Amino acid sequence: MRVGDPEFDRAVGLSIDILRDLARQARRFEDALITYRQLSERLAADGVVVPYHQGPLPHILEYASRREHAEGRGLISALVVQQGLDGRPAMPSGGFFNMARRAPFKRSGSNEAIWMTEVQSVIDECAGDS
């Protein structure tokens, strides 16, 4: 799967749908989070196989954030996090923060501040979706 392939574009679109739905239903911050593994499993259930530990998933998430950013929305990939040692969702991987600081996003601040701001932004944006 490569950038620009129909399957890649489908994975980006499905990822956006999954993540926006999660944010729409979130009653609190933690409810909006999904691990890389869980997202991979949700994509597979929709017929798109994307390993969570390697391969194109970081690129899919970046393109999802780019599409949402082009629509004036927050970095939707902020909702996808690593699994913590306790088995619960933790924070995004370092790749998310590198992406967030690059153009066109140019976010600044601590990793935690960027992440929390973006997650809350996506939750707020999706709250009005019907």
Please give the Cα distance from 75 to 78 (Å, whole number).
6
Give phi and psi for 79, each to the nearest 5: -75, -15
The pTM (predicted TM-score) of the whole model is 0.91
To which H or E segment does residue 58 belong? helix 57-70
Which residue spans within the chain are E strands per DSSP? 34-35, 80-81
Residue 128: which pLDDT band, with cuts at 50, 70 and 90? confident
Q: Are 24 and 127 in contact (CB under 8 A)?
A: yes
pLDDT at 110: 95
* DSSP per-residue codes, 78-93: GGEEPBPTTSSB----
pLDDT tens per residue across span 26-85: 988 989 999 999 999 999 999 998 888 878 899 999 999 999 999 999 999 999 998 877
Spans of all domains in the chain: 6-125
Tens of pLDDT, residues 96-112: 999 999 999 999 999 99
Residues 6 or more apart in contact with residue 52 via CB below 8 angstroms? 35, 36, 37, 39, 40, 41
